[in-house]
Structure 1
């Protein structure tokens, strides 16, 4: 079940999955600062940010406000009590799940995004479990030609959002 856990601030919480074009979904995020940065990104680019709980930090208003600063009030945040609730909501809305992972072979820039995609990012410490990999409709990677193990979660989400929006909202030609 998808829940608004901050019932005293209903304007901060969007409708369940399916609320609009392209969502950024965070699977059990570990670091409040990354989540706050991604909420700011979502607010600035008009994207829904979905958090699949439990998180590795306090998701109270106070903790999120510190991480998201004044952009938190502008963000569209959806919280799911667990992955099963997220998946049920996603399937009911008929949305495609695109997993960003270091284990994929398809480059994110070679992938054709659609307006209702959900871009899923795993935990900073462990990614997503194999069962979540198996449920993804597609898996893509951001190539790291410099040989690093992985990018910062907020950086990866920003790169992913930029490419997906370039394809579906801003057009594929440079302006």
Structure 2
């Protein structure tokens, strides 16, 4: 084991803590953090993505050995730290023994997908929901996700955990002109659909969702007025039992599966 970092005042630890706590720092540096053995191992298999791995001296012995070997093979710097130091840079209640600093992947080069919809997250302020929708998009093979500036950071620690590291896999676009993406969608034969539990047509009556943008808005107020003005139609998921709405990630899963199902049956 190399020299153990024991102080939270160590310059490396201070820089990592800034990335954990500060969205502007992540944006300025183009770096973010991932946690956990499986996510870090997968990231290390992607050349040029990981810059630094912090491994706790309290980590599982076998996992620690495998991570040390993976970092060596990838040519990535590995620093051993005490468990208390690693906990100081994590916002998780139960840190998983390893944290890695990664390069934010390139922005999604937006183009509508004829095979299915692309989720557009607008004013979605819970990072856990942002991450969970990204995970849904990955599971259903979506080509990318749009995340508006008014939404939570898709590369925050909480969003990264909720995505199970899929924000490393699914291309994400955070800097875009809403009118431009809506126009490109329509030029490809698609539509801008707003998912809203307050009203609209059932999702299965909306027709094929290929080339469409499906807007998922904030947990309370929904999408912004600007984005609502760009919509071609509002869709909903009909519900029984007096339930007024679903968690946005649950809604995303239902919509994504409905798009997949309808595409399969033609």
| TM-score (ref. length: structure 2) | 0.54
Match of 1:30, SS state, is coil
Query: Mapping of 1:11-160 within 5 angstroms?
Result: 11=106, 13-18=107-112, 21-47=116-142, 48-55=144-151, 57-80=152-175, 85-93=177-185, 94=187, 95-160=190-255
CA distance in 1 between partners of 2:196 and 2:105 (Å): 32
CA distance in 2 between partners of 1:73 and 1:129 (Å): 27
Q: Deviations over 1:114-155 (max 9, x none)?
A: 310111111112112444333211111111211122110000
Segments of 5+ residues of structure 2 without an aligned counterpart are 1-26, 32-102
> Partner of 1:171 in structure 2?
265
Match of 1:99, SS state, is strand
Structure 1 residue 92 displacement after superposition: 3.0
Structure 1 residue 63 displacement after superposition: 4.3
CA distance in 1 between partners of 2:251 and 2:222 (Å): 13
Greater relative contact order (CA < 8 Å, ≥ 6 in sequence): 1
Question: Residues 34 and 43 of structure 1: is their aligned pair in 2 closer, same or farther, counting only changes over 3 Å?
Answer: same
Structure 1 residue 28 displacement after superposition: 1.5
CA RMSD of aligned residues (A): 2.4
Count of matched residue positions in the alignment of Structure 1 and Structure 2 = 162
Question: Residues 105 and 41 of structure 1: is their aligned pair in 2 closer, same or farther, counting only changes over 3 Å?
Answer: closer
Structure 1 residue 167 displacement after superposition: 1.5
CA distance in 2 between partners of 1:161 and 1:151 (Å): 14
Match of 2:258, SS state, is helix
